[in-house]
Amino acid sequence: MSNNTLTLTLRNDLEDLSRALEEIEAFGESNDWPMNWLFNTNLALDELISNVIKYGYDDESPHEIAITLTRHGERLTVTLTDDGIAYDPFTEAPQPDTDADVDDKPIGGLGVHLVKTLMDEARYERVGGVNRFTLVQDAKA
Amino acid sequence: MSLEITDENAGDVLVVSPAGRIDSRTAADFEAHVIGAIEGGALHLLFDFGRVNYISSAGLRVLLMAAKRLKGKSGKYAICAMSDPIRQVFEIGGFAKVVPIKGNRDEALSAW
């Protein structure tokens, strides 16, 4: 039986984020997860975690970020927790104007927009002093 | 995973071929490379994405910066050889309006 859960933690730096994403990709490939799950999960985690690393802490101390991926049949659920400042990007990030041309195109909020669009569900909660993100993808027929 | 970037000249066109992931960690290298080329005088830029396996908004931001810098000059820019998942990211982000998307490199260059 294939292994359907992966849990990992990383430090709040971009090098460690890169290592974690490689580990997730290797795990998904070895368990034959759909390629679009891997691409979309990689993108969503890169967007959300890089924001947390850049803007989420008001001190210089090291912090830990935890990721769990669980497959139930045709559904992949990814949870992400961090102990950064409370921030819900899904409601608080600016909505980008994706119709704008070169001169007017804003860049803020684009990553969050990609995450919301690529995921079937993207939720945020503040629980027990941590930010918790839940990302759900269903396998496409 | 790192990002390697190769430059080739095809007539007046500088073909920039990144290989690997353009993400929050590697976008700064991509930015330095592309902006350096433009500041060095490149006016015609073709991004060949045939060996890019992943791009995040940090990478899209670099393409937007390049487009803003080249706009108003006499040159042009385009991107070619994108995989389907990367094309989907471009479409969701509204980047088809920012950078013209071409098929393969030969098609892009022959229509330059």
DSSP string, chain A: ----EEEEEEESSHHHHHHHHHHHHHHHHHTT--HHHHHHHHHHHHHHHHHHHHHS-SSSS--EEEEEEEEETTEEEEEEEE-S----HHHHSPPP-TT--TTT---TTHHHHHHHHHSSEEEEEEETTEEEEEEEEEPP-
- What's this model's pTM, rounded to 2 decimal places? 0.93
pLDDT at B1: 59
User: Nearest-CA residue of chain A relative to B21?
Assistant: A18
Cβ contact, residue pair A111, B57, below 8 Å: yes
pLDDT at A2: 59
pLDDT at A104: 82
pLDDT at B81: 97
pLDDT at A67: 98
Nearest chain A CA: its distance from B74 CA (Å): 16
ipTM: 0.90
Owner of token pair 């730096």: A13
pLDDT at B4: 96
Q: Does A47 touch chain B (CB under 8 A)?
A: yes
Could you tell me where the DSSP H helices lie in B9-110? 27-39, 57-70, 84-92, 105-110
Cβ contact, residue pair B25, A15, below 8 Å: yes
Q: Does A105 touch chain B (CB under 8 A)?
A: yes
Tokens of B18: 């990144």
* Regions in chain A scoring below 70 on pLDDT: 1-2, 141
Q: Write out pLDDT tens, residues B68-105.
A: 999 878 889 999 999 999 999 999 999 988 899 999 99
pLDDT at B77: 94
